[in-house]
Amino acid sequence: MTATISDILLDWYDRNARTLPWRVPPGEPRPDDPAYPYRVWLSEVMLQQTTVAAVKPYFAKFTDIWPTVFDLAKAADEDVMAAWAGLGYYSRARNLVKCARVVAELGGFPETEAELLKLPGLGAYTAAAIASIAFGQRAVVVDANVERVVARLFNIDEPLPSARKTIRVRASAITPDARAGDFAQSMMDLGASICTSKAPRCLLCPLANKCQRRAAGEPERLPVKPPKKAKPERKGRAFWIEREGKVWLVKRSGTGMLGGMRSLPDDGWSAREDGSGEVPLAGEIESLGAVRHTFTHAHLTLDVVAISGDGAPQGEGEWWPVETIEEAGLPTLFAKAALLAVADKG
C-alpha cells in the first residue's frame, strides 16, 4: 500500500518536530488542562508575521505574568501593551485583550473552528490552528509556510493572492481526519526548515518524490507573489520634555498606529501623512538627531527634539523616571528615540 502524503509527513514530524515552549511533542496526548488552549492561542497570535525566535521571550513573559486566559482578561490594557512593546503589529495586542475578556465570559475557549471564528481578532488561520492543535478537530490550517509547501507540492503557479483558493482546496485534500493538529504543525515545520522561500533543501525533504514543482524544476519560483509596492517615506517629530530627571510620556489613542501605547509626544505623523511639525509647548528647542523605522505601510524618519522650559505639556500624560525609561514599555520606534535622547543628554 502506497503511503499517503499525510502518512509520510507525520512520520517525518514524529522524528523531527521542533521543540517549542507552547507545543506538545508528537506522540504525547493533548493536556487535559484549560491553560493549554490559551497557550496555543497566545502563541499563534504572537507568531503572526513574527519569527519563532522573536516570540519565545514574549511568550515566556506573558505566560509568567498571566498564566491563564482569565488572568489576562483581568489585566489593564496599558500593562498588556507595555509587555507587548517591541513585538510589533500592536493591533494584535489590543485584540488579544478583547478576545481574552470574551473567552473569560464564556468560561473558556470554544472548541470548534466555527465558534472560534466568532472571537475578536481571530481569522481563518488562527481559528483553524486552535481547533486542530488545541482540540484535535479536523481543520485546514494554511499559513505562509503551508501555502508555500502546497504550492510547490502541487505545482500551483497561479499568482497570489488568487491562488489561495486552490491552495486551500489542495491542503484540505491532504489533511487527515486523525492527528490534524500534528499534521498542521508538520507542514509548518517543513516550510520553516526545509521548504524555505530561498534555497529549499529538497534533498532532505520527505515529500521530494511527490513534489510536482521539484520534478518541473526551480521550486523556489513558487508561490508566485505579486510585486511589492514601494513604501512611501514619511517624516515626523517626537519631543523629549525632561524635568528633574523625569520625561513626559503620553498614551496614544486606542486606535491607529501604535494605538494604546505609551510614547513620547509627537506631531501627529501617520503612515498616510507627514507630521505637522507643531511644537506642543513653548520653550527652547534643541535637535537631538533622528531615528528611522519601517512600518508595514511606510518608512518613517522621526526627528527627536528636546524642549526645555517651565511650561506644562499639553494633554494627559505622566512623568516617567529617565533612569528606568526601558521599563515604560515604549514601542520600538519611541524606544529608539528615547535611547537617542538619553545618549545625547548623557
Q: Which residue matches cell numbers 498588556?
A: 80
Strand partners, 170: none
Q: Are residues 187 and 90 in the same domain?
A: yes
Q: Which residue matches cell numbers 508566485?
A: 224
C-alpha cell at 231: 513604501
Q: Are residues 206 and 312 in the same domain?
A: no
What is the tens place of the pLDDT at every residue in 316-338? 889 999 999 988 889 889 999 99
Alpha carbon separation from 251 to 75, 130, 134, 167, 278 (Å, rounded): 17, 33, 36, 42, 18
Choose one of 190, 221, 252: the last residue of a domain: 221
Where is pLDDT greater, at 223 or 27?
Answer: 223
Q: Does 116 fall in a domain? A: yes
- The catalytic residue positions are 44
**Domains in the chain: how many in total?**
2
Tell me the mean pLDDT in the region 137-146. Answer: 94
Q: Are residues 77 and 182 in the same domain?
A: yes
Q: What is the pLDDT of residue 167?
A: 96
Q: Which residue matches cell numbers 521599563?
A: 327
H helices then E strands: how many in the chain? 13, 7
**38 has pLDDT over 70:** yes
What is the tens place of the pLDDT at every residue in 263-314? 999 988 888 898 888 888 877 889 999 999 998 889 999 999 999 877 778 7
Q: Are residues 267 and 166 in the same domain?
A: no
Q: Does 283 fall in a domain? A: yes
How would residue 158 be classed by pLDDT, with cut points 50, 70 and 90? very high
Q: What is the CATH number of the domain that holds 120?
A: 1.10.340.30
Range of the domain at 284: 233-345
What is the tens place of the pLDDT at every residue in 91-127? 888 899 999 999 999 999 999 999 999 999 899 999 9
Q: What is the pTM of this model?
A: 0.83
